[in-house]
Structure 1
Amino acid sequence: MTSKKKPTDLRQFSYGTAAAELAQDGADLPSSAQAETADSGLGPSDSEGSGAASLASLLTREEARQWFIDLRADLKQHRSDLMASMAEIKEDLAAVGRRVDETETRIDGHGDAINSLIARQDISATGIEALQAKVEDLENRSRRNNLRIRGVPEDPEFADVAGTAALICKDILLQGGEGTSDHEGTHSAVQFERAHRALGPRRDQKPRDIVLSFTSFTLKERIYTLSRQMKDIQWRNLHISIYQDLAPVTLKKRFELREVTTALREKDIRYRWTFPFGLAFQVQGITHRITNITEATEAFHKAQLPITFHPLKPTDKTPARDTAPRWQRAGKGGKRLRRQPEEGHVPHVDQG
């Protein structure tokens, strides 16, 4: 590239401008100056000679021609540099466009894969819930011969857990009109496969439950039924209670519905627990089955029992969000696509 020259102001080489400036300067001279000029003996011819000498010192035609040649060369070089820069920019834009297209394709593929994973996760979650229900049922079935006795102090007097439990069961059978007054006969009739205190430390200084595993399911059911009919069991000045031995998961679910069972007992409505887990009760000949607090509120309203229950804690389920991208044209006639804005969309989390 040729070296750049300082641009020349061509207006100073205009003949018309120079003549006009000379005429203006002559017109602006005072009369005394004009008189002095006349007195000096300088005539029109001398003035014209002076003007010609000034014009002769201006840019010649050859110099002007060379200046335009240099200007044209400079403009041509600048144009070449500009075209090269534009070519590089176009090449970079084309590379960026290819990478964006590849990224969009991968995003689309990832969105489809995520949606497929979400669908498979839903199927897996349903299967896991069914398996958990089966495991819960199997655990409860393995405890079907068990009973829990609550309220017996952990004193040396009751160190013999099996003997103490046998005496309690004998008294329940006697109060229910079953068995005989022969202590030995009744004691031998009540047999346990296992009898021990509940595992784990004591809570709030309360005695641990006595867990009994009967050898006879029929005898266990008879004792449990009699204890439910008696409601208030007094044994040696102790207030004791007898419960079914259930899985911890089942106990937790029943605990969450304790407000419902309390309302049913207050209204003298009988209920029963079902499998899969549920609570069934009958009102005006219509059987209702519920599994959570929300269903309980709906069932009570349908049964014309205006009671609203409140859940213990909010659910942590989040609705699945569609991850499929939405694309639009980048401009008029554009072949590439760009992703649409989300328009401030915030996924709603169901708080139960």
Structure 2
Amino acid sequence: MRRQKNTQQMKEQDKNPPDLTNEEEIGSLPEKEFRIMIVKMIQNLGNRIDKMQETFNKDLEELKMKQTTMNNTINEIKNTLDGINSRITEAEEQISDLEDKIVEITTAEQNKEKRMKRTEDSLRDLWDNIKHTNIRIIGVPEEEEKKKGTEKIFEEIIVENFPNMGKEIVNQVQEAQRVPYRINPRRNTPRHILIKLSKIKYKENILKAAREKQQITHKGIPIRLTADLSAETLQARRDWQDIFKVMKEKNLQPRLLYPARISFRFDGEIKTFTDK
């Protein structure tokens, strides 16, 4: 009975050899148990290596997935940046084109303004040349000319104010009329009388004499004699008024010349300016 029990224990030991770690115990093992232990250790080591390999492969796969995700993210960022850079470049090109167009438009507008200014100046000069022999008489009451004619009024003014000029000036009248042609009922002042003379020298002589006499009358009523100028030239002459007054106060002997120039004497020389 005891022998059978020992035999059974030996069989179980053969199936499950003891977990021996002590060198002396290992050295005392029978060859069969030693081989079984070695095989088991190799199997355990293999299992551990397999698990380690499996874990490594799993970690490696996760790392690859993360790397792929990161690469995709980097590519998306790169594509986004490329798109932004492309739009920036396109916007810069559009801005540059707009700036060029603005320069072109500005240049065209400046040239247009210059052409318009030249045209206006040419028209003003042409209109002033047409008017350059005219004299305006301001302040003569309406209806006077119905009794004797407009030319007769001019003759009376010349005789009353410049008797030394005689008939020569009166005979140089080419046209004499009220302007504008129609009466404006809203205006209380009489229309001007326009006298067109044959030559500019006659107009200049009359205006010079009027400046020297200062007070011009018709039948004792004060009137004014002026050159017939375009509205633009009149405004240009008005623009000189403040400067004219300052020059006069400083005794620079200023003069407004036809059509809208100013002259003055400085250091013994006569200076002339065409505009401010």
Q: Of residues 166, 169, 179 in structure 2, which corresponds to 1:179?
A: 166
**8 A contact 2:134–2:195 mirrored in 1:** yes
Q: Deviations over 1:110-153 (max 9, x none)?
A: 44454455455545544443333222111100111321111223
Residue 240 of structure 1 aligns with which residue? 223
Say if 2:262 is the partner of 1:279: yes
Say if 2:141 is the partner of 1:141: no
Residue 23 of structure 1 aligns with which residue? none
Cα distance in 2 for partners of 1:222, 1:278 equals 19
After superposing the two structures, state which structure 1 stretch, 142-151 or 91-100, moved more.
Answer: 91-100
Name the CA shift for 1:218/1:253 in 2 (closer, same or farther; >3 Å).
Answer: closer
Letter in 2 for 1:245: D
State the TM-score, normalized to the length of structure 1: 0.52
Name the CA shift for 1:128/1:143 in 2 (closer, same or farther; >3 Å).
Answer: same
**8 A contact 2:137–2:194 mirrored in 1:** yes
Aligned length: 226
Shift of 1:239: 0.6
Cα distance in 2 for partners of 1:283, 1:202 equals 49
Cα distance in 1 for partners of 2:227, 2:147 equals 18
Gaps of 5+ in 1: 1-59, 294-352
Say if 2:155 is the partner of 1:169: yes
Q: How does 1:42-191 map to 2 (within 5 A)?
A: 69-115=57-103, 117-119=105-107, 121-154=109-142, 156=143, 158=144, 160=146, 163-164=149-150, 166-173=152-159, 175-176=161-162, 177-179=164-166, 189=171, 191=173
Name the CA shift for 1:285/1:161 in 2 (closer, same or farther; >3 Å).
Answer: farther
**8 A contact 2:179–2:193 mirrored in 1:** yes
Shift of 1:269: 0.9
Cα distance in 2 for partners of 1:194, 1:73 equals 113
Q: Deviations over 1:233-260 (max 9, x none)?
A: 1222311000001011111111111112
Name the CA shift for 1:166/1:214 in 2 (closer, same or farther; >3 Å).
Answer: farther
Letter in 1 for 2:121: A
Residue 28 of structure 2 aligns with which residue? none
Residue 53 of structure 1 aligns with which residue? none
Residue 225 of structure 1 aligns with which residue? 208
Name the CA shift for 1:268/1:253 in 2 (closer, same or farther; >3 Å).
Answer: same
**8 A contact 2:261–2:273 mirrored in 1:** yes
**8 A contact 1:161–1:210 mirrored in 2:** no
After superposing the two structures, state which structure 1 stretch, 227-236 or 198-207, moved more.
Answer: 198-207
Say if 2:238 is the partner of 1:255: yes
**8 A contact 2:135–2:203 mirrored in 1:** yes
* Secondary structure class of the residue paired with 1:138: helix
**8 A contact 1:147–1:245 mirrored in 2:** yes
State the TM-score, normalized to the length of structure 2: 0.64
Larger Rg: 2
Cα distance in 2 for partners of 1:161, 1:132 equals 41
Name the CA shift for 1:201/1:67 in 2 (closer, same or farther; >3 Å).
Answer: farther
Residue 42 of structure 2 aligns with which residue? none
Q: Of residues 179, 185, 194 in structure 2, which corresponds to 1:197?
A: 179
Cα distance in 1 for partners of 2:127, 2:147 equals 24
Cα distance in 1 for partners of 2:254, 2:210 equals 17
Name the CA shift for 1:136/1:91 in 2 (closer, same or farther; >3 Å).
Answer: same
Residue 3 of structure 1 aligns with which residue? none
Letter in 2 for 1:283: F
Cα distance in 1 for partners of 2:193, 2:108 equals 45
Say if 2:275 is the partner of 1:289: no
**8 A contact 1:173–1:223 mirrored in 2:** no
